[in-house]
Structure 1
Amino acid sequence: MSRSIGLAHIIRQDNGTSTGVWGIYTLQSAFQPIFAFKEGKLSVVAFEGLIRPFRDGAPQSPMNFFSTCPSVDRLHVEALTRTLHLLNAGACLPQEASIFINFDPSVFTERSVADKALREMRLVLHEAGIDPGRVVCEVTEQRSASQETLHSFVAALKANGFRIAVDDYGADDSDINRIKELKPDIVKFDAQWITQLMESGAGFALLTTMVKSFEEQGIHTVFEGIEEAWQLELAEKSGASMVQGFVLARPELAPTSFRVFDKDRQTPDPVVAGDTPASATAAHSARPAKAFGRKVTP
Structure 2
Amino acid sequence: MSSERRRDVGDAIFVDEVGIEYGVHGDFRLRSAYQPIFAPHGHFLHPVAVEGLIEPHRAGRPVAPQAFFDSVEATDRLFVETMCRVLHLRNFPNIGVDGLDLFFNYNPLVNDHPGRALAEIRLMSRYLGELGLAPGMLVCEITEQAADDTLLARLAHEMRRDGIRIAIDDFGTGHSTEERVSLLKPDIVKIDGGWFAEFCRHAAAERFFRPLVSSLHDQDARVLVEGIEQPNHLRVALDAGVDLLQGFLLARPALAGTLFKEEPLAVDALLGRDNNVVPLFG
The one-character-per-residue Cα deviations of 1:230-273 (angstroms, maximum 9, x if unpaired) are 2112211111111100001111111123323xxxxxxxx43337
In 1, Cα distance between equivalents of 2:191 and 2:94: 29
Match 2:266 to one of 272, 275, 283? 272
| Partners of 2:180 and 2:126 in 1: CA distance | 31
Q: Does 1:55 align with 2:61?
A: no
1:115 maps to amino acid = L
The sequence identity of aligned pairs, in percent, is 37
Answer with 103-112 or 241-250: which moved more: 103-112
Aligned to 1:123: 126
Match of 2:139 among 136, 139, 142: 136
SS in 2 for 1:96: coil
Does structure 1 residue 107 correspond to structure 2 residue 110? yes
| Match in the other structure for 1:16 | 19
Deviation at 1:142, TM superposition (A): 2.0
What SS is found at the alignment partner of 1:166?
A: strand
Range moving further from structure 2, 111-120 or 18-27: 111-120
Measure how far apart 1:286 and its partner are.
5.9
Q: Tell me the distance in 2 between the aligned counterparts of 1:14 and 1:133.
A: 31
- Structure 2 CA distance for aligned equivalents of residues 240 and 5 of structure 1: 41
For 1:1-298, list aligned pairs within 5 A.
Answer: 1=2, 2-144=5-147, 146-260=148-262, 269-272=263-266, 282-285=269-272
Counterpart CA distance in 2 for 1:272 and 1:202 is 25
Counterparts of 2:273 and 2:229, CA distance in 1: 14
Paired letter, 2:54? I
Contact 1:5 1:80 in 2 (8 A): no
In structure 2, the CA distance between the partners of 1:249 and 1:177, relative to structure 1 (3 Å rule), is same
What's the CA shift string for 1:35-68, capped at 9, x where partnerless?
1011221100000011011111111111111111
The alignment of Structure 1 onto Structure 2 pairs a total of residues equal to 271
Measured against aligned partners, the alpha-carbon deviations of 1:119-149 in whole angstroms (never above 9, x if no partner) come to: 21122222322111100000035242x2222
CA contact (8 A) 2:109 2:144 kept: no
Q: CA deviation at 1:172?
A: 2.2
**Per-residue deviation, 1:282:** 3.4
In the alignment, is the contact (CA less than 8 A) between 1:138 and 1:167 conserved in 2?
A: yes
Cα deviations across residues 142-199 of structure 1 (Å, max 9, x unaligned)?
242x222222222222122100010000012432111011000000001121122222
- The 1:225/1:253 distance shift into structure 2, 3 A limit, reads same
Cα deviation 1:176-228 (Å, max 9, x = unaligned): 11101100000000112112222224443221101111122221111100101
> SS of the residue aligned with 1:259?
coil
Give the structure-2-normalised TM-score. 0.90
2: CA distance, partners of 1:200 / 1:245? 20
Consecutive unaligned residues of structure 2, counting only runs of 5 or more, are 275-282
CA RMSD after TM alignment: 1.8
Partners of 1:222 and 1:209 lie apart in 2 by 15
Shift of 1:5: 2.8
